[in-house]
Amino acid sequence: MKELVQSTYRYRELIWALALKELKLRYKRSVLGFLWALLNPALMMVVLTVVFSTIMRFGIPHYAIFLLSVLLPWTFFSQSLGYAVDSIVGNGELIKKVSVPKLVFPVAAVVSNSVNLLLSLIPMALLVLAMHHPFYATWLYLPIPMLALVLFTLGMTCFFAAANVFYRDVAHILQVVLSAWFYFTPIIYALDFVPPHMQWLFKLNPLIYVINGFRLAIYYGQLPRWQSIAASFVCGLTALIIGCAIFRKYENEFVFYV
Amino acid sequence: MNLSSMFDRTGLSRNIAVRLENVTQRFRVIQERPDTLRELFAKFLRHESSYHDFDAIRNLSLAVPSGQMLGLIGRNGSGKSTLLKLVAGVYRPTAGRVSVEGSLAPLIELGAGFHHELTGRENILLNGLLMGYSKDVMKAREQSIIDFADIGEFIDAPIKQYSSGMHTRLAFAVATEVDPDILLVDEILAVGDSAFQQKCFTRIEQFRRAGKTILFVSHNMIQVTDHCDRAVLIDKGSLIADGVPAEVVSLYKSLSMPELTSAE
C-alpha cells in the first residue's frame, strides 16, 4: 500500500505519459480528435434523454439525469476495468524487455479513464441546465465519491490485471461479471424499487454507496449520510489493499507468463 | 592492454559496478500451456504436469569493476541475453543476488518501448520515462537525440512511417544520449547501415574512454578482441572461461568449430 503510493508518485510522469498515450491513441486519426471525449457522453445523453422522456416513461421526473448521474461513474468503473484487465498482457513485450514497475500500467488505465469521467461532467452539467433541473451546490461534494470510486476501481483493476496474466479467461469472465453487476446495482432504478426484504442483499454491493453519492449530489441535491460515506471509503480501501497485495505478490512472475 | 585488463580483473582498484552472486535463473518451459481454466482443470484431473524447468543461468558469479568493457560470448541460447536482462532488472533471479551500482542504459532490444502510432518526439519522451529518467532530462536531451539519430523532419511523424534504420537509430540515440553509468549492449550493432554502425561504435568507444562500464554481447569476435578489456565465455548458463579477450575468443573458436563445420 505504501509502495503503491510511493511508486505512483515516483513514476507520476510515466503514468501520466502512458495515460495521455492511451487517450491520444483512442482518438487518433479521428477528425474530431479529442472532442470525442466530450461528444461521446454528450451524444449518449441525448439518446437516453430522448428515449426516456418520450418512449419509455418511468414515474421519475428528469429520468435522464437520474440515470446519468450514476451511469457516468459506472461507465468509468467498467471502462477502467475493461482497459486495465489487459494492461499487463497488452504491454507484455515491454515488460519482457524493460525493467519497469508493472503497477504503472493499470494505474495509467485508471488515470486515463478518470480524465474521461471528469470531461463527461461538462455535458452532464449542460444537460442539467438544458432540462431546467436545479443545479445544486452539492456538485461541490462530487470529489469525495470520486476519490472513493477511484480507490475502489484501482483495487479491482490491480486484481483483474494480475489474474488475467495467468488465466486469459479472466478478461472474458470480467465481461459477464460487469454486465451482471450493472443490473444488480441501482443504476437504471432506485434502491427503493427493490422489495424491502431483498434490500439487504443489494446493500452488500460495495459499489452502491459510492454510486449513491453521485446520484444524491447531482439529482437530489443532498449529501449522503456519514455512514454511507464511510462505507464507500471502507469498500474502496479494502479493494485497494487486497488488489494491490495480490498484484505485488505476483508481479515478479508476470514476465514469465505474458 | 593485457596488463591493464589483468589489473581490472582483480577489481581491487575500482568499485564493482555489476555483481552477480551465485545467480540462477530458472524458466518454466511449458510444453502445452494451460492458457485457459478449462485446460487447467483437464490437466489437473489427469494429474499431468506439462512443463519442465530449465536453468538459463546456472549458479553464475561475476563481478564487473566499474569502467571495464566486458565482452560476453557464447553460442545462441547459452544465456548471454538472459544475463543482461538479469542485470537490467527485467528478471528477478530465481536464486542468488544481482547488484548494480549506477544508472543503466539497456540496449537490449532497441525500441522496445516505442509505440508505432506515436511520433518520434513523443516516443523519445515515453521511452526515456520508461527507462526511469525525468521529463525535464528528456526534454533537455531531445535535440541532441534527434541530431544523433539523424531523423530530420520525420521526428514529428508517427514512427510507423519510419524505415527500420531510422527506427533503430532513434532507439540507439534515446538509449545512449542519457549519460548512463552502465551500458548493456546486446547484439544491436548488427543492424543499420555500416555508417551508422560505425557511429554507434564510436559512441560506445566514447563511453569506454569516459570510464563507463559496458557489458557487450557480440558474435563478432573481432569487435570483442579489439575493444573489450576482458571477455567471458558462457555455455549452458555457466561461466566456462574468463580472461583476456584474445584467449577467451580462441578457446571459444576451438570449442565451437566442430559444431560450425557440422552445421554446414
ipTM score here? Answer: 0.80
Nearest CB neighbour to A256, from listed B27, B37, B106: B27
Q: Which residue of B has its CA nearest to A100?
A: B130
Residue B107: name the closest of B189, B217, B186 by CA.
B186
Helix ranges, chain A (H): 2-10, 12-27, 36-50, 63-84, 87-90, 92-95, 104-130, 143-166, 169-183, 199-202, 207-215, 226-250, 254-257
Chain A residues close to B132, C-beta within 8 Å: 100
Rounded Cα–Cα distance for residues B172 and B104 (Å): 14
Q: List the domain range (segments joined by +) for residue A174.
A: 2-257
> A214 to chain B nearest CA, in Å?
35
Instruction: Give the model's pLDDT for residue A234.
Output: 95
pLDDT > 90: percent of chain B: 40
Cell numbers found for residue B222: 573481432
- Residue B56 is classified by DSSP as E
Nearest CB neighbour to A17, from listed B129, B131, B132: B129
Chain B residues close to A101, C-beta within 8 Å: none
Residue A81: name the closest of A175, A8, A17 by CA.
A175
* Better-predicted residue by pLDDT, B155 or B260: B155
In this prediction the pTM is 0.84
Rounded to the nearest 5°, which phi and psi values hold at B71? -95, 135
At A61, the amino acid letter reads P
**Angle, CA B56 vertex, CA B52 and CA B57 arms, to 5°:** 130
Mean pLDDT of A26-54: 81
Least confident of B69-78, B89-98, B192-201, B247-256: B192-201
- Residue A210 is classified by DSSP as H
pLDDT band at A1 (very low <50, low <70, confident <90, very high): low
- Residue B32 is classified by DSSP as S
Query: Within 10 Å of residue B80's Cβ, how many Cβ atoms?
Result: 25
At A37, the amino acid letter reads A
Rounded Cα–Cα distance for residues B83 and B100 (Å): 13
- Inter-chain contact A14–B118, Cβ cutoff 8 Å? no
Rounded Cα–Cα distance for residues B252 and B241 (Å): 9
Chain A residues close to B156, C-beta within 8 Å: none
Instruction: Give the model's pLDDT for residue B7.
Output: 45
Asked if A207 and A139 touch (Cβ cutoff 8 Å), the reply is: no
- CA atoms A130, A134, A135, A138: torsion sign: negative
Rounded Cα–Cα distance for residues A62 and B24 (Å): 65
Task: Please determine, looking at this structure, whether the domain spanning B67-92+103-263 carries the CATH number 3.80.30.20.
Answer: no
> A254 to chain B nearest CA, in Å?
10
Residue B210: name the closest of B110, B69, B99 by CA.
B69
Chain A residues close to B91, C-beta within 8 Å: 255
Rounded Cα–Cα distance for residues B159 and A130 (Å): 44
Question: Which element (helix H / strand E) includes B242?
Answer: strand B238-243
Residue A21: name the closest of B114, B178, B192, B14 by CA.
B114
Instruction: Give the model's pLDDT for residue B257.
Output: 63
- Identify the three-state secondary structure at position A141: helix
- Residue B158 is classified by DSSP as B
Q: Which residue of A has its CA nearest to B25?
A: A256
- Inter-chain contact A17–B109, Cβ cutoff 8 Å? no
Return all residues near B202 (Cβ < 8 A) that are at least 6 apart: none
Asked if B43 and B34 touch (Cβ cutoff 8 Å), the reply is: yes
- Residue A53 is classified by DSSP as I
> A210 to chain B nearest CA, in Å?
33
- Inter-chain contact A168–B109, Cβ cutoff 8 Å? no
Residue B208: name the closest of B88, B14, B70, B101 by CA.
B70
Distances (CA, A) of A6 to A101, A229, B133: 11, 26, 16
Instruction: Give the model's pLDDT for residue B264.
Output: 38
Query: Within 10 Å of residue A11's Cβ, how many Cβ atoms?
Result: 21
Q: Which residue bears the cell 560470448?
A: B73
Rounded to the nearest 5°, which phi and psi values hold at B213? -85, 135
Query: Within 10 Å of residue B47's Cβ, how many Cβ atoms?
Result: 6
Chain A residues close to B115, C-beta within 8 Å: 21, 25
Angle between the A63-84 and A143-166 helix axes, to the nearest 10 degrees? 40
Per the structure, how many domains does chain A have? 1
Cell numbers found for residue B137: 532530462
Rounded to the nearest 5°, which phi and psi values hold at B97? -135, 140
What per-residue string of b and e applies to A189-217 under the rule 16 or more CB within 10 Å gives b? eeeeebeeeeeeeeeeebbbbbbbbbbbb
- Identify the three-state secondary structure at position A164: helix
Interface of A with B (CB under 8 A): 11, 13-14, 17-18, 21, 24-25, 28, 93-100, 167-169, 252, 255-256
Least confident of A99-108, A188-197, B43-52: B43-52
Asked if B103 and B212 touch (Cβ cutoff 8 Å), the reply is: no
Strand segments (E) across B85-132: 95-100, 104-107
Q: Please tell me the total number of residues recorded for chain B in this structure.
A: 264
Cell numbers found for residue B8: 581490472
- Inter-chain contact A168–B36, Cβ cutoff 8 Å? yes
Rounded Cα–Cα distance for residues B132 and B146 (Å): 20
* Better-predicted residue by pLDDT, B64 or A51: B64
Mean pLDDT of A5-18: 86
Query: Within 10 Å of residue B34's Cβ, how many Cβ atoms?
Result: 18
Q: Which residue bears the cell 510511493?
A: A6
Rounded Cα–Cα distance for residues B183 and B194 (Å): 21
> B195 to chain A nearest CA, in Å?
27
Instruction: Give the model's pLDDT for residue A74.
Output: 95
> A34 to chain B nearest CA, in Å?
15
For residue range B89-131, list pLDDT tens digits in order: 899 899 999 999 988 888 887 777 888 888 999 999 998 898 8
Mean pLDDT of B74-95: 90
For residue range B205-245, list pLDDT tens digits in order: 899 999 999 999 988 898 899 889 999 999 999 999 999 99
Distances (CA, A) of B31 to A168, B50, B194: 17, 6, 41
At B193, the amino acid letter reads D
Mean pLDDT of B4-11: 44
